[in-house]
Structure 1
Amino acid sequence: MTESIIEEPTYMRDVRHFFADVDLDHMFGLGIDITTYDALKAESTDVYVHTLGPNAHMPPEPDRKWTAERSQSFFNWISKGHPLGVPEVQPLATSAASRIRKDARDLSADELQALRNAFSGVMALEPDDPNSYFTLAGLHWFPVPSECKHHEDKYNPWHRVFMNRFEDALRSVPGCETVTLPYWDITGAPPNFLYEPPFDSYTLPLDVHALYPAGYATSRFDAATLMENVASYGIPEDITTSLAEFRWSRFTTGIEGAHDEGHVSIGPTMSRPDVAAFDPLFWFFHSNWERLWWNWQQAMQATTEWSFRSTIDTSTLFLTPPFNALEPFSQTAEQAINLAAMDVGYAEPQGPDKGPVVPETLEPSTRGSLIASSTMRATRRRVSARVKGVDRLAIPGSFRVVLRADGEPVGRRAFFQSTQPKDCENCRQRRRADFDFVVDLEDVSDRSLSVDVELLSRDDPREGVTVPLRACGNPTLNVRVLLEEMS
C-alpha cells in the first residue's frame, strides 16, 4: 500500500478514514470508543502508540498494518492540535438497492396506476388489519400517541423505518408487489395526481380522538397556496443550508426544522402530528425527507453505523441499547442508519426543475458561538438571533416563533407538535425549545426587536393567536455577530 504523508491533516477530510469499520467495531467491543471526533481526540496518543510500526498491536492483520506514512500523518494531526476540518463531499452514486423510489413527477402511467391500486387496497382493509391504512397512519400519533419521535436524534431513523413499513403494506396488495413510494420534492408544486383520489383525502372509519371522530376527512391547501407558504417560510433555503452541515446535530436540527415548516405549510391536517399521517400526501412528503437524509449520508461518507458516528458531535446514546429502540418496529436506530441493509435507494429527478442537493464542496460554517480553541473570524453582514427556552408544553399544538424588527417580521420558524404535548413523554423530556434565525445586520441594526409566539389555527395554520411570552416560559432573545470557523 502506497501512501503519502499528509502535512496538514484534518479529522473530517483525512483521519476518520484511517480506521476500517471492523477496527472501530473491535475497539468498541473492548470498551474503547474511537468512533467520533471527541472520542478519538481523547484516545489519540494511545492510538498512535498501538498503531506505530514496526511492532504495532493494531490492526491485527499484517496486510492492514499502518504504513509509516499513515503513522506520520496521524502524528501530524495530533501535533497540529487535532483540527476538525471539513469533509470532502462525495458525489451521489447510483444505488444498487432493490427498491428505488422515484420523483413523483417522473412516474409512468403504469407506475401511477399501480400506486393508485396499492393505496386504494390498504385503504379498503379493515381498520384492525395490521396492513391497513388506518392502523399504519395511526402509528404516527393518534390513536397511539406514545410513538412520537420528533425533535430528537431518532427522528430520522424512526421515520425511515416507518416509511419502509408502509411501503411493505402497499406491496402486500395483489398486483402491487414491486410498488415503491415516490417522493414529492417540496421545493416544487405537488403533481396534479396528488389532488385526485385516492391521494386527495382520507376519511377516518373510526374515532381516533374526541377532536377527530369517525367521519373526519383530511384536508389541505391547494397547490398554489401550499407553495406560497413554502416560499414564505424559506424552506428551500433551509434545506440547502442543512445539507451543507457536516455535523449531525446541525444537519438533523436544520432538516427537521424545515420539515416542521413543511408540515404547517401544507394545510390543516398536516399541521398536526395528531392526524398528519392520515393525509395521503404525508407519505410522499416524508419520502422526500428520507431522500434528503439518504443523500446527505452518501455525501458525508456516513452510510454505516461506524462511519456515521464520525459525523456525531453530541451524544451517541441513541445508537446504544436500550436507547436505540424504534418502537413499535423491530429495527433499531443503528440498523436504520445502514443504507445497504435498508436496501432502499432514490432516483434523481428527470426533469430540469431539481430541488436542493448536497453542495460539491463545504465551507466552514458560521455560528453564533464557537469553542475558544477554534480559529475564527467575525462576519460583517450577518447576525444570529436565538429565541431560547420556549416552554412547548404550555402550547397546545403546532406553533411558530416570529422575530420582528420595529414590528415587521424578519424571520419565522414553525414547530410541529401535538395538541396534547403534556401527554407525550418525549415532549416532556424536551420541553424547552430554541429557535435560531440568521438575518442581515441591516435588517435589525438600530431597530426595536421583539418576539411573538403564535399558536397556529387548527382550521387554517396560516393564522395564529399570540401566546403571552410569560405563559410559555419567558424565553430570552440573544443576538450575536456570526463567527466563521476557519480550518
Structure 2
Amino acid sequence: MSNVIQCPTWHDISKMITDDDVREMKNHGLDLRCYEQVSALAHKIYYYLGYKLMPPGRSWSDAQITTYNNWLINDMPKDAAHQAQIIDERNAALATADRRVRKDINQLDSTEKEKLKDAFQWLMDQDPKTEADYNPNALCYFSLAAKHWYPVPTFCQHHIYGYLPWHRWQMLDFEDALRSAPGCQDVTLPYWNIETGEFPQLISEPPFKDYTFPINVYPDYYDPPTDIGKQGTTTERNSSFQGSNVVNQCINNARTAPKFSQYNGITNYKYDSSSHIMRAHDRGHVGSGKTMANQDIAAFDPMFWFFHCNWDRLWWEWQSSRNATDLEGFKETLESCDDQKWLIDPQMSISDPFSKKNSDSIDITQLEITYTRPEETLEKVKDFPLPLAIGPSWRDQNDGQSTLSTFTIAKENLNRVSLRVKGVNRIKVPGSFWVVLYLGGEEVGRDAFFQSTFSGNCENCVAQAKVNFDFVFDRSHLTDVEGNPKEIKVEVISAITDEVMPFDAIGNPTINIRMLH
C-alpha cells in the first residue's frame, strides 16, 4: 500500500491485515478479523504498529500506519453508514453542548466575524496610553500579549514538556478576556488550519491586519535588533505563508507518534531534531513574518491567537486518537516516571502567570472546550511539493545503524543521505533563525528555530544551548549530471535581521553526513 487513506473504514483496515497476521494473533487470543475485538484494543495495537513491533517480521509501511491513525482519529468507523452516523452524532453534540465551540476561522459566519472583531477591538481600546499606565494584569490587549514574553516578567514555555499545556491555558485566558467585551460573552477563538498553506482572508481585515504598539515593549536596558516593538511601530507579516511543505510533513509525522515525547519533541528534558509538532510550530512562526518570527513580540500580531489555537486543536486531535483525553489515559503516553514531573509535581507543574496546573489542562471537555473539524478536509488540503532535503520523522532515527558487528547493505538501499548540522549554539544567535542547506549553489532545504532575541537570559534556553538540524535527501543529488561532487553549503541566518551568522560565532557547529538504509 503506497497511498494514505484519509477517511478509512474497517473495510480499509481489514484489507491491510494479512492471513499470516490473523494466524499469529489468534495464538494470543485476538481475532484480527473481528471489528469489535480490534476496535476495543485499537489504541494498544497502534502502539505496536507505530514502533514497528508488529506484525512480527513484517512491519507496516508509513502509509499503512498513517491510514490506521486516521481511522483512530475518525472514531474507528465500521462502514460508510457507521461513518455517517459518527459525523451526525458529532454535529448534534456540538449543536446541543453548552461549550465553547472553536471553529476553523474560515467557518465563521458574518455575525461571528463581526463579534470577534468587536471583541479584539475592545481589548485594544483598553491599552495603556503611557508606560506609567502599564499594568501586567490589566484587561487589555497589550498586557495579554505580553504574557507570552516581553515586557518583563517573562514566561518562556518553548522546547520543554510544558509547552502545550502552557499555551492551552494562554488561549483560554485570552478567550476569557475577549468575552469581557460588551455583547461578546459567547465569543470563542477560531483556529487557523495551517495545513492549507494560506493565510485566512479574515486576518487581512482590521483589527486583525496589524497592531500598533502603544508603548515600548522592551525594557530601557535592552537594545533590540530591530525597531519593531517600540512605541508607535506596527507589527509586520509576510504577504503569504512560507514553509507549508515542512510544516505539513512535521504535523503528519507527529500525528502518527505513539508517545507524547515523540509528538512534542522533548526527550529526557531535551529538544530533539526529528519531525514533531514543536518543529512544525517553530517553522510556522518563522514562516509567517518578522513579528511572528520574534518570540519577544510574536503574540502582539493578532494572527498569533488563531495560529496557536490550531496547535491546541492538533494536540487534542492527537490525544483523542491515543485515548489520552483524561489524565490517566494521558499518562499512558508518557515513557518514564521522570516524564511525569512536569505534569504532576507540585512545583514543576504550574503554568505561570495563569496559576494553573498542567494536569488540569489535559481534558478540555472539563474546560468546556470543543473543536469543529477544519473547513477543508484532509483530502482537500493542498499537496505541497516537498523540498529536496527534509528532516527525518521519528521513525527514521535508527536508519543507518546496525546491532550486528558484521553486515552488508544491498546496493539499492544505499540511496539516501542524512546530513546533520550539529551543535548550533542558539544562545549566540540574536533571536529566531533559519538553517539553510545548499547543494551545488541551489537551496534544497530550510529549517527554523523559534526563540527570543535575548535567549541567554532564559535558564531553559541556556540549559539547551546546543541544537541540531537534520536534512535527508537522495544521495544522487550530491553529484551533478557528469558525476562530479557538488559543493555542500550550510548557512545559519537570523530570521530577525537576515544576517548570515559565521560558524565560529555560533559555537562552530559541525556538518555530519551518513548513509541511511
Give the TM-score normalised by structure 2: 0.70
State whether structure 2 residue 177 is matched by structure 1 residue 138: no
Give 1:318's aligned residue.
342
State whether structure 2 residue 173 is matched by structure 1 residue 165: yes
State whether structure 2 residue 261 is matched by structure 1 residue 249: yes
Higher RCO structure, 1 or 2 (CA under 8 Å, sep 6+)? 1
Give 1:238's aligned residue.
250
Where in structure 2 are the equivalents of 1:39-438 lying within 5 Å?
89=69, 90-92=72-74, 94=90, 98-127=99-128, 128=135, 130-144=138-152, 146-188=154-196, 189-209=198-218, 211=224, 212-222=229-239, 226-227=240-241, 229-231=242-244, 234-253=246-265, 254-313=276-335, 315-316=338-339, 317-321=341-345, 322-351=347-376, 354-355=380-381, 365-368=395-398, 381-438=415-472
Contact 2:293 2:496 in 1 (8 A): no
Superposed CA deviations along residues 258-309 of structure 1, whole A, max 9, x for unmatched, are 1111112211111101111001011111111111111111112222222223
Structure 1 residues 280 and 371: alpha-carbon distance in aligned structure 2, compared to 1, 3 A threshold: same
In structure 2, give the amino acid aligned to 1:255. I
Structure 1 residues 5 and 298: alpha-carbon distance in aligned structure 2, compared to 1, 3 A threshold: farther
Contact 1:97 1:345 in 2 (8 A): no
In structure 2, distance between residues paired with 1:371 and 1:173: 58
Structure 1 residues 476 and 364: alpha-carbon distance in aligned structure 2, compared to 1, 3 A threshold: closer
User: What displacement does 1:157 show?
Assistant: 1.1
In structure 2, distance between residues paired with 1:455 and 1:271: 10
Structure 1 residues 4 and 249: alpha-carbon distance in aligned structure 2, compared to 1, 3 A threshold: same
In structure 1, give the amino acid aligned to 2:249. E
In structure 1, give the amino acid aligned to 2:243. V
User: What displacement does 1:215 show?
Assistant: 1.4
Structure 1 residues 304 and 403: alpha-carbon distance in aligned structure 2, compared to 1, 3 A threshold: same
User: What displacement does 1:244 show?
Assistant: 2.4
User: What displacement does 1:7 show?
Assistant: 5.6
**Structure 1 moving runs of 4+ over 6 Å:** 370-374
In structure 1, distance between residues paired with 2:471 and 2:315: 22
Give the TM-score normalised by structure 1: 0.74
In structure 2, distance between residues paired with 1:220 and 1:420: 21
Structure 1 residues 365 and 125: alpha-carbon distance in aligned structure 2, compared to 1, 3 A threshold: same
Three-state SS of the structure 1 residue aligned to 2:444 is strand
- Listed as ranges, the gaps of 5+ residues in structure 1 are 19-35, 38-76, 358-362, 459-463
Structure 1 residues 220 and 126: alpha-carbon distance in aligned structure 2, compared to 1, 3 A threshold: closer
Contact 2:43 2:321 in 1 (8 A): no
Give 1:21's aligned residue.
none
Contact 1:92 1:295 in 2 (8 A): no
- Listed as ranges, the gaps of 5+ residues in structure 2 are 1-24, 32-39, 76-89, 129-134, 266-275, 384-392, 480-484
Greater shift, 431-440 or 166-175, is seen at 431-440
Structure 1 residues 481 and 140: alpha-carbon distance in aligned structure 2, compared to 1, 3 A threshold: same
Contact 2:99 2:369 in 1 (8 A): yes
In structure 1, distance between residues paired with 2:418 and 2:382: 23
Contact 2:127 2:140 in 1 (8 A): yes
In structure 2, give the amino acid aligned to 1:367. Q
In structure 1, give the amino acid aligned to 2:490. V
User: What displacement does 1:424 show?
Assistant: 1.4
Structure 1 residues 385 and 333: alpha-carbon distance in aligned structure 2, compared to 1, 3 A threshold: farther
Contact 1:102 1:182 in 2 (8 A): yes
In structure 2, distance between residues paired with 1:208 and 1:300: 41
In structure 1, give the amino acid aligned to 2:211. Y
Give 2:3's aligned residue.
none
Greater shift, 115-124 or 434-443, is seen at 434-443
In structure 2, distance between residues paired with 1:126 and 1:411: 41
Give 2:389's aligned residue.
none
- Percent identical among aligned pairs is 38
In structure 2, distance between residues paired with 1:412 and 1:122: 37
In structure 2, distance between residues paired with 1:385 and 1:240: 22
